[in-house]
Structure 1
Amino acid sequence: MEIVQSSPTLADSKPRIPSWLDLILYLVVGFGGFFAVSALVGALVKTDQITLPLSLLAYALNIIFFAGTALILGAARGKLNLRDIGFYPPRIDAKWFFFAIAISLALLPLRGIIGVVVQLLAGGTLNGLQGRMDVIAPDGFTWLGFVITLIGAGILVPISEELFFRGAIFMWFRQRYNFPVAMLASSFLFAFGHFDTIGVVASSLVLALANAYVLEKSKTLWAPILMHITTNSFAVVMIYAALAFYPQALQR
C-alpha cells in the first residue's frame, strides 16, 4: 500500500453524474441479492444453530454480493473509478492511516453506549445481541474459528462492505448531491443492512457516519476500510479472548 503525504478532498474532483439506473442496480443486486440468498439459505438449512461453515457462507455471500456489485456493476462498467477513491492502486495519506485506526478505537465505547441505550429505550433486551456473537463464535472458542473469523469478519467483510457502501453507494450520492446528503443516505443504508437489533443499527450508523466523513476528507477508501477492519477485528479478538479466559461471561 502506497502511503502518500497529502490528499485532496472528494469535493475537489469533478466526476460525471451517475444515473439512477446505477443506484437501482447497486441496491437490487447488492443489497437485495445478499438478503434474498441469505434468506433462501436459512430456509433450506432449517436450523437454529449457527455453525462455522454457515458463518463462512455468510462471509462469502457478503463478499460476492457487496464487493462483487461494486467491482462488476461499478468499476467494470466504468461507473466507479477505483483510482479516484484510492482503492487501487492502494493509496492513503500517512496521517489518515494512523487517524483511521485511532478514531475507530475511540468510537468503540461511544458506539457501545449508544447501541445499548437505544436498544433499552426501544423496549428491547441485550439478549438480542446474542445472534451477532453466535455468528462470530458459532462453536465457542477454537483456534480455527478464531483465525477464520478474524480473516473473514475482521478483514474481508470490512473491505467488501466499504467497497459497496462507501465506494459505490456513497460515491453515487456524492456525485449527484452535496456531502451531507451522501453521508446520511449511504450511512442509513449501511445501518439498515445491520438490522440484527435496533441497538446494532444505531451503533452501525455512528460507524457509517464517521467512515463517510473520513472518506470525504482523506479521499481514499482505505481510510474507512482501516476503521472498519479495526472495529470488526477488535470485536472478534475481544469475544474470542472472553471465550478463552472467561467463558462464563458469554454463556449461551
Structure 2
Amino acid sequence: MNEEIKLALIRVFPFVMILVGLFVATKRGKIDRAADLGLQKPSSMTHFFFWTFGFLSFILLIEFFLNKSGILEIDKWNHPFFSSIIRIVGAVILAPISEELIFRGLLLSKLSKKVNMHLAILIQACFFVLLHNFAYQNTLTSNIVIVQALIDATLFGYGRHYTKSIYTPITMHVTGNIIATLERFIF
C-alpha cells in the first residue's frame, strides 16, 4: 500500500472508530439516540436553516476578511488523488459527524445536566479546541484558528441547543470543513 494512502487512512481511522463505538453503544442501549446524541429531526426547520445559512455567511465573511487582510495562511493541497479522496471524506464527512456526536451530542448532553446551558456550551467548545492539534503550534495562524474554532464550536453548541437536533451542528460543521478544504485548492 502506498505511504500517502496509509497516512490518509491513519488520519481518518479514529473518526471511523468513534462512529463504530457510538453505533455499538447505541445498539446495546448504553447511549440514547435522542437524549444523549440528539439524533432527531430539528424542532424547527426554520431554525435549522437559520443556523446553517447564518453559519455559512459568518464563515464566508471571516474567511474573506482574513484573506483580504493578508493574515490567512493556507497550505496548498498537495496529496495524490486516492489519498486526497480519503482525506476529503475524512475532513468533510467523517470528522464533522464523529466530532459533533461526541462534543455536541454526548458531552453537551452530559454537561447541560450538571451546569447551565451557556456554561456547558463554553466548556464543550474549550474541549473541542484542546483536542485539535493546531492548538499547540503557537503561530499567528494557529492562534487565529483557535479563536475561530472556539467560536465555531460555541455556535455549533447553540445550534444544537436551539434546534434540539445534532443534525444542525453536523450540517454547520460539514459546511465549515467544505469551505476550509476548498480554500486549500483555490488559494
TM-score of Structure 1 vs Structure 2, range by shorter chain: 0.7 to 0.9
Gaps of 5+ in 1: 1-49, 117-124, 243-248
Aligned to 1:60: 13
Q: Please give the residue correspondences for 1:182-221 in structure 2 after superposition, counting only pairs within 5 Å.
A: 182-196=120-134, 197-221=142-166
| 1:166-224 deviations in Å (ceiling 9; x for gaps) | 11111110111110110111000001122313222211111100000111111000000
Distance 1:146 1:104 in 2: 26
Aligned to 1:51: 4
The answer to whether residue 177 in structure 2 is matched with residue 177 in structure 1 is no
Q: 1:110 to 1:52 in 2, by over 3 A?
A: farther
Q: 1:105 to 1:162 in 2, by over 3 A?
A: same
Distance 2:47 2:84 in 1: 28
Q: 1:100 to 1:150 in 2, by over 3 A?
A: farther
Q: Please give the residue correspondences for 1:53-92 in structure 2 after superposition, counting only pairs within 5 Å.
A: 53-64=6-17, 66-68=18-20, 70-72=22-24, 75=26, 78=29, 80-84=31-35, 85-87=37-39, 90-92=40-42
The answer to whether residue 57 in structure 2 is matched with residue 106 in structure 1 is yes
SS for the counterpart of 1:220 is coil
Aligned to 1:139: 79
2:8 and 2:86 in contact (8 A); partners too: no
Q: Alpha-carbon deviation of 1:154?
A: 0.5
Q: Alpha-carbon deviation of 1:238?
A: 3.2
2:38 and 2:105 in contact (8 A); partners too: no
Aligned to 1:223: 168
1:67 and 1:164 in contact (8 A); partners too: no
Q: Please give the residue correspondences for 1:118-129 in structure 2 after superposition, counting only pairs within 5 Å.
A: none
Q: 1:139 to 1:219 in 2, by over 3 A?
A: same
Q: TM-score, normalised by structure 2?
A: 0.76
Q: Which amino acid letter does the alignment assign opposite residue 59 of structure 2? A: L
Q: Which amino acid letter does the alignment assign opposite residue 190 of structure 1? A: F
Q: TM-score, normalised by structure 1?
A: 0.58
Structure possessing the higher relative contact order (Cα contacts under 8 Å, 6 or more residues apart):
2
Aligned to 2:138: none
How many aligned positions are there? 174
Distance 1:160 1:114 in 2: 29
